[in-house]
Amino acid sequence: MITLVILGFSIIVLIDFIPLVKNRDKKAITWFVIMFVSTFTLCILIMNGVEIPSLMLLAEKLIKAIGLSY
Amino acid sequence: MIDKSVLRNSRFMFTLAFVIQASSLLTSFISGTTLQDSWISIILAGILSIPLILLYRSIMLMFPDKNFIQVLKLVFGRVLGTIIGILLVWFFVTLTALNISDLGDFAKLTVMYYTPKYILILMCVLISVYAVRKGLNVVTRYSAVFTFLQFAIIGVSIVFLFNQMDFSAFLPIFTFEPIKYVQSTHIVTTIPMGEMVLFLMLTPNIKIEKKKFTKAWFLGAFLGILALFLVTVRDIAVLGNTLHLFSLPGLICLRLVNLGEAFSRLEILFAIALIILLFFKITLLGYVIIIAFAELAGIKSYKNLTLIFAIFVVLYSLTLFPSSVNHADNAKSITAQLWSLFEIIIPLLVLIIAKIRKLPKHINLTKKQKSFALQESSKDELTQETKQHGNVQKGEV
């Protein structure tokens, strides 16, 4: 599975990152790297069964604590 | 403008209609609250959507060449505008993730039971990425087809299920506490209707005359809410007091279609059509996310970021809710309140502050400057006319 994931992410680099480097678009390169690292990390965490806290469930707790829920 | 695609009258109207229609799968959010009276909530939500449409329309007419992120920066200032913009991107990302999750659950339940949900989602998202890369024209090209397709599905299903409908299921009326009606009306107003806020991101692409623009807004929203109303009425009439037991009442209704041996198990056709509708909505939302992000980050070309963003949204969707039941519970209790911030409060603040600050500011010319500008423009016109006249004479000779 990990091989498939690495292969998938390598394809993304080939399709999208190399053209960005060729165009020397610094802002786009920076954001691509940030997004790539975040997405890859998230993928590895999910694959390994790490429980990632749900933002919607956190929002639910917050809104219920405020007393705004139905 | 990041993408120079243009959205004209009918395409805008049908895009608006299908965005609302695509939520017709999610009627369990309200049917679990007001049961047989859910149709009343939909009518009330339709009425309450009128000021909402007028609000969005006013902002779009006020800033015709700016998307919502640009408007936020202009109205609230650079820092606060960027912060609200980031929150708005989170809202769009979450909305897309929730729709992706619904699509995965629905496709798994109806078409490919043994295929992992994330594989189904990934397939859909990869096609969406292709469309988003091609621009808004490609994303919205088939909006009219899909809107009519949805109406065809609803019409055919009503005809096929007519023998199973029991209209006494609508009785008794108004038996719940008033708060329940408020809750379900609020849910319909924010979950499908308020999602029209995404069109504020497409303002620079929409090129319609003022009169036609208002008509397109109202007609599009009407078509959308009409579809929701018909679906809810059908579900109530068919499922009766068992309506609240299902997380996807629409699907259960379609499963009940049975006209002899030849016309049974027809739900697969409806399921495919509903998947197409959801896919279309996800594609439009994906486009909005990437445009909003590119605007915030100051990136001119968004195309190379589309795929990585799409994968991120897919993974994010897997973290939101453990099951569709949790999703429905969350939608019933808090989503409407949370979404109100992005769909009602922020746009309303934008309108009020823009009015107070008299935005957008036009260049105030003095009388002398105005007369000079007029003289210059009339000189230019005269020169152009002379040139044209000369060309005509040359042609005649």
A32–B183 CB contact, under 8 Å: no
> CA B160, CA A27: separation in Å to the nearest integer?
56
Q: From chain A, pick out residues whose CB is under 8 angstroms from the CB of B335.
A: 56
Cα four-point dihedral sign B133, B315, B97, A21: negative
ipTM (interface pTM): 0.95
B307 band by pLDDT with thresholds 50, 70 and 90: very high
Residues (pLDDT < 70) of chain A are none
Residues of A with a Cβ under 8 Å from any B Cβ are 12, 15-17, 19-20, 23, 25, 27-28, 31-32, 35-36, 38-39, 42-43, 46, 52-57, 59-60, 63-64, 68-70
Cα four-point dihedral sign B70, B72, B76, B80: negative
Mean pLDDT of B250-269: 75
pLDDT in the model for residue B374: 41
In this structure, chain A runs to a length of 70
The helix/strand/coil state of B104 is helix
pLDDT in the model for residue B378: 46
> CA B98, CA B103: separation in Å to the nearest integer?
9
Residue B183 in contact with partner chain A when CB distance is under 8 A: yes
List beta partners, residue B263. B259
A25–B300 CB contact, under 8 Å: yes
pTM of the model: 0.87
DSSP state of B141: T
B322: Cα within 13 Å, side-chain hemisphere: 5
Give DSSP secondary structure letters for B11-32: HHHHHHHHHHHGGGGGTHHHHH
> CA B348, CA A50: separation in Å to the nearest integer?
40
Minimal CA separation from B315 to chain A, in Å: 7
Ramachandran sector of residue B238 (left: φ over 0; alpha: ψ -120 to 50; beta: rest): alpha
Minimal CA separation from A14 to chain B, in Å: 11
pLDDT digits (tens, 9 = 90+) for B136-195: 888 888 888 888 888 888 898 888 888 888 888 888 888 888 888 998 899 999 988 999
Residue B319 in contact with partner chain A when CB distance is under 8 A: yes
A25, A32, A69 member nearest B334 (Cβ): A69
Contact A57, B330 (CB under 8 A): yes
pLDDT in the model for residue B49: 92
pLDDT digits (tens, 9 = 90+) for A19-39: 889 988 889 999 999 999 999
B383 band by pLDDT with thresholds 50, 70 and 90: low
Give DSSP secondary structure letters for B237-299: HHHGGGGGG-S-HHHHHHHT-EETTTEESTHHHHHHHHHHHHHHHHHHHHHHHHHHHHHHHT-
> CA B60, CA B248: separation in Å to the nearest integer?
35
pLDDT in the model for residue B394: 47
Mean pLDDT of B259-285: 79
Please give the helix or strand (H or E) that residue B130 lies within, else none: helix B117-134
Assigned token pair, B4 = 């120079």
Contact B94, B320 (CB under 8 A): yes
- Cβ count near B96 (within 10 Å): 27
Residue B309 in contact with partner chain A when CB distance is under 8 A: yes
Give DSSP secondary structure letters for B331-397: IIIIIHHHHHIIIIIHHHHHHHHHHHTTPSPPP---HHHHHHHHHHHHHHHHHHHHHHHHHHHHHH-
Maximal CA-CA distance, chain A: 53
